[in-house]
Amino acid sequence: MTTTTAQLSLRPPADPTAELPIVPHRRPWRLVAGLAALVLVAQFLHGLAVNPGWDWPTFRAFVFSDSILRAVGVTLQLTAYGTVLGFALGAVIAALRLSGSPILRTIAWTYVWAFRSIPLIVQLVFWFNLAYLYKRIGFGIPFGPSFVSFGTMDLLGALGAAVLGLALHQAAYAAEIIRGGVLAVDAGQLEAAAALGIPRFRQAWRIVLPQAMRGILPNAANEVISLFKGTSIVYVMAIGELFYQAQVIYGRTGRVVPLLMVATAWYVLLTTVLSLVQYRVERYFARGSERTPPPTPWQRLRAAVTEIREKQT
Amino acid sequence: MSSGTAMVEVRGVHKRFGRLEVLRGIDLDVRPGTVTVVLGPSGSGKSTLLRAVNHLEKLDRGYVRVDGELIGYRRVGDKLRELPEREVLKQRTRLGFVFQNFHLFPHLTVLENLVEAPVGALGVPREQARARARELLSRVGLADKADEYPRRLSGGQQQRVAIARALALEPKVLLFDEPTSALDPELVGEVLDVIKDLARTGTTMIVVTHEIGFAREVADTVVFMDGGVVVEQGPPAQVLDAPQHERTRAFLAKVL
Ligand SMILES: Nc1ncnc2c1ncn2[C@@H]1O[C@H](COP(=O)(O)OP(=O)(O)OP(=O)(O)O)[C@@H](O)[C@H]1O
Ligand SMILES: [Mg+2]
């Protein structure tokens, strides 16, 4: 009895179907659609290259010119200050809104309500014209004499007014994004931290925030990128950022399209860089969140290459 | 301060959620080095009692003392005044709590999970905490998982890590809220083995569970709760094999 079972399990069944090679399902229409799309892309690229209207020589002349590079610098500066100050203030406001105090919660809610309601451009013009409303700003006894005072324009130059406006505006949105991320963290995490006696600030910093980052990051990256392009709104204050500078140049030379392309190229390039940074940071905060983390694009590429090689052999 | 020999002393504890009175005067003594198993039907207030012991729930009346110290309150004249959160957190480092759903920190490795509270709450030097964490991990049989993230472990392994995390604070008492209820049947044994091992080494424990076999084997005292009161308590041979109350008998008939 035992010998027969052993023999049976040793010899594979002589089923010819089990020996047949396996080939993947063919998808001819997918190939056709792909080729058609490629033709359209090729036509578009060809048009870009040969249509003289795009005026590539002018593009080349200006894309790395000093004035444009300086303007890119100003744009990056506005974005950096707006992001850092905006998210720092936003974190404080989110903390207030999540706090136990009804007064603080109401103040935070009102801030968000106000700065989401006022159009950014109105706010910017307001800060820019602060010097018109208050010529001097002084510090001293409220309603009494002031000890020191500054000319408003000295304290708050055009760039300062722009940064202030962008940061205050950004903070309202950042606060909601951070609050959303925090709310999405499982309540059991805080309970476990509390049961372990971990101090309050450390609970927030070490347990809640790193987990909230997963929810915060995609939205925060959206905000940074839209702020980056949104800085072009400060052209109303005649600040030499990228879009304003492009306008100045085409105002002088009359070559509108190539200069818009210059600005666009820089926006696209820098947005791409930001997207790559976002990918990296998101991966960092995703650690431990899945049983098997998805491969990086590099790993995926290598896997594809090995697969193709194996098929050929 | 200390009255008598109890490690945990629960006296006249009342707790209501809105109109529902969940705990209606609980008295309980847990002697040092003993295991108390709490049984009872769903909704009888077992979790609420356990959470009240380490002040995850505030009390409406009554008090809890651990090793002679009032938990969550301070006596001021003829009132019990709630302690500031900072003080409560300090008290909780002397009580280990193991949750039904583990609640490990998913973004920290297993080792970091064990190091976080000793470093963050007690100010233990990091290196010392890490060495201790490794000891505890080998005690629960997971020395090789120190650098893994919790989500890559099986449920039973995660719960063993959670037990080790609670032990890392060297608590006076360990509280377990249905530690095996979220586990597949074949993983229950490995977690119960760890708890049995702790019982042998004289750790004071309160365990809420539905594992009657475990209660019979390990418990020094079995407490049967129903409707927010302790119906019956005593050694397992008495409560499980010769229950005095009809409600205990009915419950045991259902779960056995
Ligand atoms: N935070 C809360 N708010 C309102 N009701 C609550 C809250 N926590 C618990 N309850 C109620 O209190 C009662 C007792 O709950 P508890 O979790 O203590 O029961 P249990 O004995 O642990 O039950 P189980 O065996 O199902 O875990 C239940 O009716 C529950 O709905
Ligand atoms: Mg329960």
Contact B165 A191 (CB under 8 A): no
Q: If you search the block for the tokens 């397992």, which residue do you land on?
A: B236
Interval A160-176: pLDDT, tens: 888 999 999 999 999 99
- Tell me which of B83, B90, B103 to substitute to probe the interface with A (most A C-beta atoms closer than 10 Å): B103
Interval A256-271: pLDDT, tens: 999 999 999 999 999 9
Note the pLDDT of residue A2: 45
pLDDT at position A305 over 90 = no
Note the pLDDT of residue A277: 93
Q: Which atom of ligand 1 is nearest to the CA of B208?
A: 22
Q: Is A94:A182 a contact under the CB 8 Å cutoff?
A: yes
- In angstroms, the separation between the Cα of residue B54 and the nearest Cα of chain A is 7
pLDDT at position B243 over 80 = yes
pLDDT at position A135 over 80 = no
A36, exposed or middle or buried, with CB in 10 Å at 0-12, 13-18, 19+? Answer: exposed
The rounded percent of chain A whose pLDDT value lies above 90 is: 58
Q: Which residues of B touch A200 (CB under 8 A)?
A: 85-86, 89
Q: Is B65:B71 a contact under the CB 8 Å cutoff?
A: yes
- Tell me the best of B14, B16, B46 to mutate to test the pocket of ligand 1, counting ligand atoms within 8 Å of each CB and taking the most: B46
Report how far apart, in Å, the C-alpha atoms of B23 and of each of B51, B98, B116, B248 are.
Answer: 12, 21, 33, 18
Tokens encoding B24: 């209606």
pLDDT at position A227 over 70 = yes
- Tell me the best of B16, B19, B22, B231 to mutate to test the pocket of ligand 1, counting ligand atoms within 8 Å of each CB and taking the most: B22
Query: 3-state SS of chain B: helix, strand, coil percent to 5?
Result: 40, 25, 35
Query: Which pLDDT band, with edges at 50, 70 and 90, does A20 fall under?
Result: confident
Instruction: Give yes or no for residue B199 CB within 6 A of ligand 1.
Output: no
CA distance A288 to A239: 45
CA distance A159 to A235: 11
A25 or B230, higher pLDDT: B230
Q: Which residues of B touch A290 (CB under 8 A)?
A: 151
| DSSP 3-state of B10 | strand
pLDDT at position A255 over 60 = yes
Interval B86-129: pLDDT, tens: 999 999 999 999 999 999 999 999 999 999 999 999 999 999 99
Q: Which residues of B touch A189 (CB under 8 A)?
A: 103, 105
Note the pLDDT of residue A195: 96
- Tell me which of B89, B100, B101, B113 to substitute to probe the interface with A (most A C-beta atoms closer than 10 Å): B89
Distance (Å) from CA B18 to ligand 2 centroid: 18
CA distance A179 to A200: 17
Tokens encoding B116: 């976080």
User: Could you say which DSSP state residue B219 is in?
Assistant: -
CB count within 10 Å of CB A214 equals: 16
Contact B151 A285 (CB under 8 A): no
Instruction: Give yes or no for residue B209 CB within 6 A of ligand 1.
Output: no
Note the pLDDT of residue A159: 85
pLDDT at position A6 over 50 = no
ipTM of the complex: 0.93
The rounded percent of chain A whose pLDDT value lies above 70 is: 89
> What is the pLDDT of chain B when averaged over all its residues?
94
CA distance A7 to A173: 72
> What is the pLDDT of chain A when averaged over all its residues?
87
Q: Which atom of ligand 1 is nearest to the CA of B178?
A: 27
Query: Which pLDDT band, with edges at 50, 70 and 90, does A11 fall under?
Result: low
Note the pLDDT of residue A239: 87
Interval B196-228: pLDDT, tens: 999 999 999 999 999 999 999 999 999 999 999
Instruction: Give yes or no for residue B15 CB within 6 A of ligand 1.
Output: no
Strands B8-17 and B20-30: antiparallel
Q: Which residues of A touch B99 (CB under 8 A)?
A: 188, 191-192, 195
Query: Which pLDDT band, with edges at 50, 70 and 90, does A3 fall under?
Result: very low
CA distance A299 to A301: 5
Instruction: Give yes or no for residue B48 CB within 6 A of ligand 1.
Output: yes
* Predicted TM-score (pTM) of this structure: 0.84
- Tell me the best of B13, B16, B17 to mutate to test the pocket of ligand 1, counting ligand atoms within 8 Å of each CB and taking the most: B17
Question: For the residues A175-185, what does the mean pLDDT come to?
Answer: 96
- In angstroms, the separation between the Cα of residue B211 and the nearest Cα of chain A is 24
Question: For the residues A75-93, what does the mean pLDDT come to?
Answer: 95
CA distance A221 to A226: 8
- In angstroms, the separation between the Cα of residue A285 and the nearest Cα of chain B is 8
Distance (Å) from CA B18 to ligand 1 centroid: 12
Tokens encoding A210: 């790193």
A20 touches chain B (CB under 8 A): no
Q: If you search the block for the tokens 């506005």, which residue do you land on?
A: A78
Q: Whose CA is nearest to atom 12 of ligand 1?
A: B22
Interval B136-192: pLDDT, tens: 999 999 999 999 999 999 999 999 999 999 999 999 999 999 999 999 999 999 999
Supply φ then ψ for residue B178, to 5 degrees: 45, 65
Contact A197 B101 (CB under 8 A): no
Q: Is A120:A169 a contact under the CB 8 Å cutoff?
A: yes
Residue of chain B with shortest Cα separation from A292: B152
- Tell me which of A196, A208, A281, A285 to substitute to probe the interface with B (most B C-beta atoms closer than 10 Å): A196
Instruction: Give yes or no for residue B17 CB within 6 A of ligand 1.
Output: yes
Q: Whose CA is nearest to atom 19 of ligand 1?
A: B43
pLDDT at position A307 over 90 = no
Instruction: Give yes or no for residue B46 CB within 6 A of ligand 1.
Output: yes
Question: For the residues B16-36, what does the mean pLDDT come to?
Answer: 96
Q: Which residues of A touch B101 (CB under 8 A)?
A: 188
- Tell me which of B107, B108, B165 to substitute to probe the interface with A (most A C-beta atoms closer than 10 Å): B107
